[in-house]
Each structure stands twice: as C-alpha cells, then as structure tokens.
Amino acid sequence: LELGGSLITNKSKPFTERPETIKRLCQEIHQARQEQKNLELIVGHGGGSYPHVPAREFRTAEGVVDNQSVKGIAEVQDAAARLNRIIVRTLINAGEDAVSIQPSACCFAKNGRIQEFYTDSLERFLNLGMLPVVFGDVALDTKKGCCILSTEVISAYLAEKLGGQKIILCGTTDGVLDKKGEVVLKITPANYAQVKKHLGASDGIDVTGGMLHKVEEVLELAKSGVVSVIINGNKPGLLRRVLLGERVPGTEVSADGRGEKVKLYG
C-alpha cells in the first residue's frame, strides 16, 4: 500500500503534513486489518513537501553534482525520516504495530534503480504480524553518488522480491486522469502507449516524476502478474474497502495477456 506524498502533505507548503487525512487513512488501515486478520501488508509513503524541498534545493535526484550535494543527502534523509515518524506514530495510535524500515540505511542504488535492499529485518517484522513502513528516501548510488528512491520504485522492488500480489496507490485523484480530467479505468502494457499521450501532469513539487512515473513503475510489475489499483485517498472508506478486496472506483493497472482492447475513458 502506498500513500502518495500529495495526499499526506500539502505539496505547495514546505514541511506541512495533513494530520486529519493521515489519521483517517491510518484508521482505515487498522479497520481493514481488524476485519481481515491475515492481511499481510507493507505500507509505503511518499515524501511530499518534506524531502522534496531539500531534494530540489540540492538537486539530489541528479546525484552528487557539487560540494553541497553531500549536505543535501543529510537534509533529504532527515526530512524524509521526520515525515515517516509522523506516519508511524499515527499508525501506532490507530492500533497498528507499525515499524519503520529506513530505505537509505537498508539499500543502495545504481543509476536510480535499487541495486540491493536488505529485507531480512523487514521480513521478520512481517512474520510477527507487524506493519513495516517504508518511504521515499535518498539513497547512495554507485553511478551518480546519490539518488532519490520514490515509494513506487521501493514498492515495485519489494513486490517483486517478496512476491507481493497487489499494489494499492492512494493519491488525490479518482485514479489516473487524462487531460480532460476523466479517469482512465484500465491501463495495460498493450494500451499504455496510447494512454500515455492523454495523461495529465501532477500538481506541486515533485522530484520523482508524478503520475507518469507511478504508472510506469507498476506497469513493469503488471507484466509479472502484479495488479495495481490507483484510488482516491481523499474519499473516506475507499482505502479500507480496497484493502478488503472490494472493487472500488479507480484505475487498474494490470496485464491483459491477450492484448485486449479496453475502454480507455470512464
């Protein structure tokens, strides 16, 4: 499950989280896990207006580019971890046994892609029934010096490594929107080239590429059978329902296998 940065923070205002939204989402997660005890879940969250501020200032996504870049790594890691504390604390308050897994301490990258991610601790937390929480973070990079790992890159990596079946992306829109603001109901490897031309842009600061990036990360996984759904986290109850396996309004990203032509617009 991924909680988008623009959902849990105000992206147009530096270091501003949305406490009420975070609280409600954490409660929905807890409700779903109370109703379905065997729901094995990893939560990931974006950084929004926390790490994106220093990341943009220090051009962290580009790598170690000048003598301020290393300071930038420290600033981005701190900002990402600060937001993570808020999310984990709110999950614990909601009744979840939530634990942080700090990506920058557990992995490194090569040209922006995860090269190695230590997941032994994470898997042991899962086995205890706990709720591991990863997040968009800085990482050291063997090619560029450093990079930004979006929650999507981390989710995709973990889904593949740990055999996840489903990725839920909670954002601030009713799914993937086209330029007219309408929801694209289904995206598949077969229709993506066509869909891409119609996709809209994301609002506010975003150093990790917005909706296009999200879709492309999960589209890769669709090829190996992982189904992703992109839903509106601002609509109360939707997250709980989708966690319980219900079909809810949003965009599904999956493999059609047969090059099936789906209706693009909702």
Minimal distance, residue 104 CB to a second copy, in Å: 6
For residues 109 and 113, give the distance between their C-alpha atoms in angstroms, rounded to a whole number: 5
Question: What is the smallest separation between the CB atom of 175 and a second copy, expressed in angstroms?
Answer: 32
Question: Which residue number, 39 or 130, has a Cβ lying nearer to a second copy?
Answer: 130
Say if CB 121 and CB 133 are below 8 A apart: no
Least separation in angstroms between CB 108 and a second copy: 6
Strands 227-232 and 166-171 come out as: parallel
Pick from 21, 27, 60, 77: which binds a second copy (CB under 8 A)?
77
Query: What is the Cα gyration radius of the chain?
Result: 17
Question: Where in 142-171 is the site for a second copy (CB under 8 A)?
Answer: 145
| Binding mask of the shown chain, residues 26 to 65, with x at each position contacting a second copy by CB under 8 A | --------------------------------------x-
Cβ nearer to a second copy, comparing 16 with 194: 16
Among the listed residues 6, 9, 104, 151, the single contact to a second copy using CB under 8 A: 104
Here the tokens at position 210 are: 């917005």
84-90 long-range CB contacts below 8 Å, 24 or more apart? 84/45, 84/133, 84/135, 86/17, 86/19, 86/22, 87/3, 87/8, 87/22, 87/26, 87/43, 87/45, 87/133, 87/135, 88/133, 90/19, 90/22, 90/23, 90/26
Q: Which spans of this chain sit near a second copy (rule: CB under 8 A)?
A: 64, 70-71, 73-75, 77-78, 81-82, 85, 88-89, 92, 96-102, 104-108, 116, 118, 120-122, 124-125, 128-130, 139-140, 145
